[in-house]
Amino acid sequence: MAGKLFPIKILIGLTLILLFPSAVLAQQVAVLLSDTEQAYLRPVSAFSNEIGAEVRIYNLQGDIHRDPQLMDRLLASRPGLIFALGAKAAYAAKLWTQQHQEIPVIFAMVFNWQKYNLINGQDNMAGIASEVAPGIQFLNLSMLVPTARRIGIIYSPEHSKEIVVQAREAAAMLNLELREHQISSPEEFKSAYRQLSGQVDSFWLLNDPFTYTVGNMDWMKDRCIKDRLVCVGQGSNLAEIGMMLSVLPDIDNIGTQAASMARNIMQRGQLPKDIRVMEPLGTRILLNQRTAERIGVPLSAQALGMATEVVE
């Protein structure tokens, strides 16, 4: 009996596919890449592995106008969601879905995403920020060095105003004290450091173009050791060159987090406008043990166990 019904079931299935193609294809997901950047490979791989839906990859090859048919091909595949990596892909995904806001978009790996106006005016846009939140950096700092309660920040308002506002909020939440010093050129950095160093027991280094120069970092790593100050920042090379702590986003986890957000939207009905831009939740913690010893910070076995990598 079951065998006799089998062809009928197939016929019904095919009829449904022909009548309601969008219902079947809705579970396809489009990944839109800005270019062939190697850094996108692992997040895309993690995303594809965890999403549980067919993934089609589209590549802007560095230029939104390079392939005029790309938008049509992507939209014709009727994706249930677009995962856009990089600023160009995020911008293109927003532009292309202006008239198709039923297609949710999750963007990631967009440095300084606020600059691109990605979420304003479109309810289908959500994303993951590219930098670790100041609060996560401070939590790691205070967990590994509980005595570091006064944190110095040198920044240019032109480049880092928003992130400093976030830092103030996080510091207030964690009962930490921020000592700020504004600069308007990279040359002012050393003088700012000298003025602040006597008032703080740690420094938080921003990805600010006036602060984060090769010359400034090279100079500061020696000064921090000499002045026995803990330095925390986002660049992976900071711990490698001799600063005590780097807290940076776990790039692999960006794909995993995006897949979770996509499932919440596609399967559990969460709206992108209710998510908006999440912090990158996965972190890599690099700890320079030699610097910790030189500046007199004792590290317990538990502290060393919490670090993803220890530079010895």
Partner 1 sequence: MKSLCRTHNEHQRVIRLLYLVLFLVLLRPVPCSASEPVDFYFYFPDSSQVNLSHLKREMDRFLSQAGLSARFQPFAHKIDFDNTLKSSRPALVFLPEWYYRCHGRELGLIPLLTPLRQGRPDYTKLLLVRKNAPWRLADFSGRTVAMTTMGSDSGETMNRPLFNGKKVDLLKNHIVNISKDADAFFAVALGHVDAALVGRDTLSTVGKLDTKLVEMLEPLIESNPIPMPLLCMVAGRLDPANIELVKKIFMAQNGGSPSPAIMEMLHIDGWQTLSN
Give the interface with partner 1 as residue ranges (CB under 8 A). 42, 45-46, 49-52, 133, 135-136, 139-140, 142-144, 146, 170, 173-175, 250, 252-253, 255-257, 259-261, 263-264, 268, 270, 278-279, 281-283, 285, 300-310
Token digits for 143? 């967990």
Q: Looking at beta carbons only, is 15 or 49 nearer to partner 1?
A: 49
Residue 159: CA atoms inside 13 Å, Cβ hemisphere, count?
16
Give the shortest CB-257-to-partner 1 separation in angstroms.
Answer: 6
Q: Looking at beta carbons only, is 183 or 303 nearer to partner 1?
A: 303
Pairing relationship of beta strands 245-249 and 230-233 according to DSSP bridges: parallel
* Cα–Cα distance for residue pair 26/88, rounded to 1 Å: 24
Give the largest Cα separation in the chain, rounded. Answer: 87
Q: Looking at beta carbons only, is 241 or 310 nearer to partner 1?
A: 310
**Residue 37 C-alpha from the chain's centroid:** 16
* Cα–Cα distance for residue pair 245/62, rounded to 1 Å: 34
Q: Looking at beta carbons only, is 86 or 134 nearer to partner 1?
A: 134
Q: Looking at beta carbons only, is 241 or 281 nearer to partner 1?
A: 281
Give the shortest CB-308-to-partner 1 separation in angstroms.
Answer: 6
Pairing relationship of beta strands 277-278 and 245-249 according to DSSP bridges: unpaired
* Cα–Cα distance for residue pair 122/57, rounded to 1 Å: 23
Give the shortest CB-159-to-partner 1 separation in angstroms.
Answer: 23
Give the shortest CB-126-to-partner 1 separation in angstroms.
Answer: 12
Q: Look at residues 250, 193, 196, 249 and name the one whose alpha carbon lies nearest to residue 222.
A: 193
Token digits for 267? 């399967």
Give the shortest CB-251-to-partner 1 separation in angstroms.
Answer: 10
Sorted by sequence, the CB contacts under 8 Å of residue 97 that are 6+ apart come out as: 82, 103, 105, 122, 124
Is there a contact between 272 and 106 (Cβ–Cβ < 8 Å)? yes
Give the shortest CB-90-to-partner 1 separation in angstroms.
Answer: 20
Q: Looking at beta carbons only, is 213 or 308 nearer to partner 1?
A: 308
Q: Looking at beta carbons only, is 188 or 309 nearer to partner 1?
A: 309
**Residue 139 C-alpha from the chain's centroid:** 17
Give the shortest CB-140-to-partner 1 separation in angstroms.
Answer: 8
